[in-house]
Amino acid sequence: KRRQAYAAAKAKRLKRLLAQKKFRKAQRKIIYERAKAYHKEYRHMYRQEIRMARMARKAGNYYVPAEPKLAFVIRIRGINGVSPKVRKVLQLLRLRQIFNGTFVKLNKASIN
């Protein structure tokens, strides 16, 4: 009786492991395809930048690449010796603790 139960449990376990293995393999393939698509997209953007610069140079102009629109801001200094204005800005950016970070959309105001 115990041997039968053990064999049944073992078969169930093997079946579950096989299903997990199959699922993992499918997931890995999806992840790989996604990474491949990102790589292709960024390579295309990089080549596009080079192409635009060459075209501008050929026409005797200058190509100015696009500025970044997003920044990750990290607070690296404590509260001591920070002026009130700067302290207020840090509060507005939700950087109350040292080594906290936040994403900030870059525009004229946030750059200044």
Q: Where are the beta strands (DSSP E) in 10-81?
A: 70-74
pLDDT of residue 74: 94
Token pair 């920070």 is at which residue?
A: 82
Point out which residues pair with 105 in neighbouring strands: 70
pLDDT of residue 95: 93
pLDDT of residue 3: 94
Angle of CA points 20, 25, 28, to nearest 5°: 120
pLDDT of residue 8: 96
pLDDT of residue 5: 96
Residues of the chain with pLDDT under 50: none
pTM of the shown model: 0.56
Q: How many CB atoms lie within 10 A of CB 52?
A: 13
